[in-house]
Amino acid sequence: MTQFELEIQHIKTEVINMTELVHLQLIKAKESMLLFDKDLAHEVIAREKRVNAFELKIDRDCENIFALFCPVAVDLRFLLAALKINNNLERIGDIAEGIAKYVIKSDNKFDVDLLEGTKLIRMFDDSIDILSDIKVAFENEDTLLARTIFSRDEILDEINKNADNAIAAYIKTSPENISQAVFVLSIVRKLERVGDQSKNIAEEIIFYVEAKVLKHQKGIM
């Protein structure tokens, strides 16, 4: 391999490692909520500093390659995509941290009826699975797998859309848990954004592999 090829491979490895880190953050945020484990929630918050530091390192490494090698064609697309994917992953890390903060703020373990009524656990599982497949799609340059993210994001959107009615119905029967219901609705909103960020990453994978720009273009996936 040339030095340039080694640098490109290094960036790819870093993005894969960043994806794994953020994926683990999301898993731990879910576990902290289900187990009402505030120590685990604090761990998620503490590890967010590592996510932020990783984002800055990847940005700097990409900038160095631009300055030293002036990449073109697929290599240029890859680096542009890596920068955007890196930013999307950092935002997912922020979301995991935000969910952990709701666990810490809550006074009681989350009501199972509330979690089931809002389909929050299903939403969590889908978000975690999507992020796992994003990693595989990026690592293998698998644009077919990347394209599956779009329809899966729509499922998250639908759960988010129906959450308001589910929360309203729950509050009528359990008004004493209104603060917890608000936390759950906020978590639903955050997980919907995980879907949005994952969709953005899928678009970037397709961009650098196929040289197709999908952002803001409906019906051409």
Amino acid at 73: A
Number of other CB atoms surrounding residue 132 within 10 Å = 15
Task: Measure the CA–CA gap between 145 and 149, rounded to whole angstroms.
Answer: 7
User: What backbone phi and psi angles, to 5 degrees, belong to 174?
Assistant: -135, 65
User: Who's near 58: CB < 8 A, 6+ residues apart?
Assistant: 11, 14, 15, 18, 82, 83, 86
**Percentage, residues of the chain above pLDDT 70:** 97
pLDDT for the residue 77 = 96
User: CATH fold of 3-210, please?
Assistant: Methane Monooxygenase Hydroxylase; Chain G, domain 1 (1.20.58)
pLDDT for the residue 220 = 46
| Domain spans, the chain | 3-210
DSSP output for 181-194: HHHHHHHHHHHHHH
| Angle between helix 38-69 and 73-105 (nearest 10) | 160
In the predicted model, residues of the chain with pLDDT beneath 50 are 219-220
